[in-house]
Structure 1
Amino acid sequence: MSLTSSRFPYIQVILRVLNNIFKVEALIDTGFDGDVTVPPEMILNGKSPRGYLPWTLASGTKVNAPYFLGKIKIGKFKPFNVLITALGDEPLVGRGVTDKFKVIFDHGRKVVIEL
């Protein structure tokens, strides 16, 4: 089983968090050790987070960002639990997700995800 995205380096994912479902294109960020980030306005909306996680951004800035428990579904692969952090200005999928798969970046044209 595999998923191919021609929108390099993005993949389409379905996130379930706080009884909401979001279908988004997420940037694969191999420098991000966490699971998933989404823009804060996408999920905060007055909801209390599960907690806060410390992160060091690419700029070296240290921040504490709210996180929620959720699920991610990629293509036809089975959904699994992830920590979804409210941070940044676009959805990111990090190594906490990609390390569960074989990820092929094919010459800057497409991304292939395999088990």
Structure 2
Amino acid sequence: MNLISSRFPYVRVTLQVLQRNLKVEVLLDTGFDGDITVPPEMILNGKPPQGYLPWTLANGEEVNAPYFLGKIRIGKFEPISVLITALGDEPLVGRGVTDRFKVIFDHGRKVIVEL
């Protein structure tokens, strides 16, 4: 089983968080060690986060950002548990997720995700 995305380096996923399913196109970021970040307005809806995590951004700035426990489903693969952090202005999936799969970046044309 695999998922192929021709929108390099993005893939469509479903996030399960706060009793909602969000279909999102995410950037696969191999330089990001965490699980998932999404823009705060995407998930902050007045519900309190599970907590806050310290992050060091690419520019060296240090911030504390709210996080939520959730799940991610990539294609038809089984959902996996993740930390979803409300941070930034573009949804990112990091190595905390991609390291669980075989991910092929095919010459800047497509992304293939396999187990």
CA offsets per residue over residues 54-103 of structure 1, 9 Å max, x none?
A: 11111111111000000000001000100000000111000000000011
Q: CA deviation at 1:33?
A: 0.6
| Root mean square deviation of aligned Cα | 0.5
SS at match of 1:34: coil
Q: Distance in 2 between matches of 1:45 and 1:77?
A: 28
Give 1:46's aligned residue. 46
Give 1:106's aligned residue. 106
Amino acid at match of 1:32: F
SS at match of 1:68: strand
Give 1:17's aligned residue. 17
Give 2:73's aligned residue. 73
Q: Distance in 2 between matches of 1:112 and 1:24?
A: 17
SS at match of 1:96: helix
The equivalences for 1:22-33 within 5 A come to: 22-33=22-33
Amino acid at match of 2:34: G
Q: How many residues align?
A: 115
Amino acid at match of 1:65: A
Q: Distance in 2 between matches of 1:5 and 1:62?
A: 33
CA offsets per residue over residues 28-70 of structure 1, 9 Å max, x none?
A: 0111111001100111111100000111111111111000000
TM-score by length of 1: 0.98
* Structure 1: runs of 5 or more not aligned: none
Q: Distance in 2 between matches of 1:31 and 1:57?
A: 11
